[in-house]
Structure 1
Amino acid sequence: MVRVKKRASKRMTLKQRAKIHKKVQEHGRKQRREARRNPQRKSKKEDPGIPNLFPYKEELLNEMEERRRLAAEQRMLAKEKRHEEEEEEDDDEVAPEPAPATPLARPPAPTLLQPFKDVVAPGSEIKAVVYVLDARDPSSFRRTWLEKQLRSKKSPSLALALAKADLVPSEVLTGWVYDLRRAGFSVFPTSVRPEAEPAGVDALAAHLPSVSKGAIAVLGLENVGKSALAAALQDALEDVQVYDSPSLVRSAAPISMGDEEEDEELSRSETQTKLLWMLMRNQGQVQRFKDPVALVRTLLPRVAHPVDLMMAYGTPAFGSFVPERATLADDMPDDEALRELERQTEAKAMADTEQFLVGVARSVGRLKRMGMPDTVGAARLLLRDWAHGGLGYYAMPQSKAKAVQANGSSQDKKLWADIERMIQAMDAVQPRKEWRQAWASKELRLKALEKAPYDEDVLVFAPTPDDLEEEDEDDEEDDDLDDEEDDEEDLDEEDDDLDDEEEDEDDEEDDEEDLDEEDDLDEEPIPVPRPSKKRSKAPMMERAPKIAKPTKEAPRPSKASRPAPVPPKRRAPAPGEAYDINAYF
């Protein structure tokens, strides 16, 4: 009878079971570590959603829902369009191609290649100059030096164009045109958009041939809209040559006064002017400036009504009290009193800026750890709105409609009425009520500057890319010349090295001859010279004992008969003197 083998037991010792359990845990740990390091790993954490404390949660949810609805509509339209194309392919019917839409971009005007001093000089080929100002802040773009240059009879006639007039309410635009025309200038508001027909350009084009017969140059500072206006004028004026020009920049540099206090004050004023100039240009990513709080501190003193900022960002009232001049000491000199007033004004600006940015940070949720407000982030938020159309800002003119109607003469009233009719004819300009609705009540009214930054400085044209390329070529030629000179110097150094090598070879030959002579002298007996009793100042490792040179009368002794050199005696260091450690080795 066959004996059935007994089934082996699966029982194991606790040591084996713990070992297997440990290996399983180690394998799982390795798998999780590799999964974390995998760049294509997907997190299993769910989206927590929008917090209930977020102030604009409903608006954000509505916006997300609107995006979903628009995406669904686009998918439906794409699906219907795809079905229509399939039906057209089945019917073998080819649909006619739509006619290409006319481009709204206008051909640019040719660039003026003359130096700026030749353009404004008497007897110039340019007979009329259109100087472009930003309608939002004309006081910052005016240049007294340019106006004085064009006041002479033989100089080109000057006309001012208020560009970007569609960004300003009609009441404000009327006040600025009225003030500038009363000052004796020919002013025309314009609005040139790439997606719409230009407004106000026809009135300017009708005025220019009446005052001059010749070429016209459009001048302006950076980012003011002169190139678009030059292209629109070129379309409106067919028989007159219109030139665009590079941006105007200042040619004067700050001069040192020689006094430290005056130089420090000049540097502080120059820094403040640069910040104001950066805000006025309003170009590029202004919010990425390394010190955004300084830009906001420069902007806040220009705000005419702080309630505009309170309503735009939902902040509480801010502002600090500054004593007037009467509170200063009576015996204080005028210079010190002015400096004290400037110091108090600067302290007020810093306190106002800090208080306002703290309110903005708390309103929009810009908080750091422990609930500390992020003032730098709030400053960047304000500058982003300033630079990218989040705030509708404009400078307030001096004249207003009520004041002109109440206290103005009949001529002033007639001028105001004519300007109002001209601006009403421009469809792009809206009244203040409609303008506020378009900007969602984000209005910021500024004070007009009494003096523009760099107002008295001489102006020149900015270098064009072609000029910069020529300068680079000149620099490369200079570098090539410098390289050639360096190569010549290297060749001279190589020649010197060769000469040095030849001299070293000659020296080696001389040394070999001297050694041969010494070997010959070693064979002859010579008297032993007496050692010198003079103490050597150098240590033994650095200075070898001197051996008298052999002469013909006294031959040199042999190596065996030479006496051993006597080491110099060590001198004890004086008090405060450092030990010479080389003397002990």
Structure 2
Amino acid sequence: MRLKKPVSKRGTTRMREGIKKKAAAHNRKQKKLAKKDPTWRSKKAKDPGIPASFPYKDRIVSEIEDNRRVVAEEKLRRKEEKRKELLAQGANPDDIIDEDDEEAGDAGNGLAALLESAQKAAKEYENDSDEDEDLESEDEEPLEVVDYEIEVSDDETESELDKSRKAYDKIFKSVVEASDVVLYVLDARDPEGTRSKKVEQAVLQSQGKRLILILNKVDLIPTDVLTKWLDFLKSSFPTIPLRAAPGATNSSSFNRNLTQSVTANNLMTSLKSYAAKSNLKRSIVVGVIGYPNVGKSSIINALTSRHGGSSKACPVGNQAGVTTSLREVKVDGKLKILDSPGIIFPAESKKKSKTEQEAQLALLNALPPKQISDPLPAILLLLKRLSKSSEMTESFKKFYELTPIPDSNLNEFAKNFLVHVARKRGRLGKGGIPNLHSAGVSVLNDWRDGKIVGWTLPKSSKETDNEHIVKGAGSGSAPSVEQTTIVSEWSKEFDLDGLFATLNNANDDAMEE
């Protein structure tokens, strides 16, 4: 007799996710129907009682009955004592009414009052039903989230960077084609490093697309640096500062007036204003793009959070590569937001070596720690950036409690610094040898989490940057575009003039403090 091969009962991920979505849709429908049902239901959960199979059920039931009997006897004793006190005071025995008799006498009147209050509540419910439905559709209706997987050809002969760039290129084209408004997220500590002119050229060449620069992580740079970057970037495209996440617990916080709720509400108001003015018979699609780990998913969660709710529409993490697929989040009937994985655009100048490119991406937090082969070049870039300001240098020394280190040259200083970090944090190998690779990754993680205070300043010349964008936009089929006209027209469409005034006032208050 031939035995059958055992069949696995494990289902596919697609089937499990489909079941979850159907169950969530069913629960939403039942919740919506329950709100429209005027039948009164108690908010307290019903006591299921003691299971019949419980071995000590008889003993527990007898104890409950004994407690009830004791309470009843105590109630009768107090009633008799109160009756005797009233008789001792000279009260008429016929006028003394027991509490039980009084409750029984008022039962009819209480039932009538209950019926009257129920009828009144029903009338109020009918009058407010339309308003409640509108509020429910805008504020209480759960978010609709749809994921779109993107298939990319897998060639074993290609390097990992080439594979990722092909995937990112396909994702970027999909987002731009599907979006009406593109939010380009930049890291406030290094906006130029996370900015690509090819993105801006592609959006300008697409008819009817709008591009807004989002300066995220404004709590990690001082107010004067933020003001300089806003003035610099606003000459190219409308720019909005944003704080998408509360920030690291140990980080130095700047621009405290620009809170998460204030900046996210301002951005959402601008998007809804554009949706109302667009006169489209469909909902507008807002695509969110940017380098890995600049906070794209955190921005979407901040935009879609309601009344301080903790629900998250998109998964987030403190390292690159958390978002792996396109995700469409429906906010309401007029607005959809499209989240995308991090995009590493090809470098404009091909003179940099592979080591230099990896160091730059590591400093931009665009690479997961596992993909950093050698953190020393990235540490060198970080030290060069911090050495440009005495404030950054002093904060860096204070954070790591640096003792005087021989600094004959930058390479020796960086190695001695990593040895100090390895010994201080226990990153040691066999024989107590400092693990410089582990120490370097630890320093890069501190930079990623905002524990190291550091920033860059914009270029002194704005005209060269604008001319570069205009020339790139004029090449090909797209006509030449004047940046000042773009900024003024798009700012009116999104009602950004009042928003800029509010943010400028907040920055002035922060500088005074």
Tell me the TM-score normalised to structure 2 length: 0.43
Larger Rg: 1
Tell me the TM-score normalised to structure 1 length: 0.38
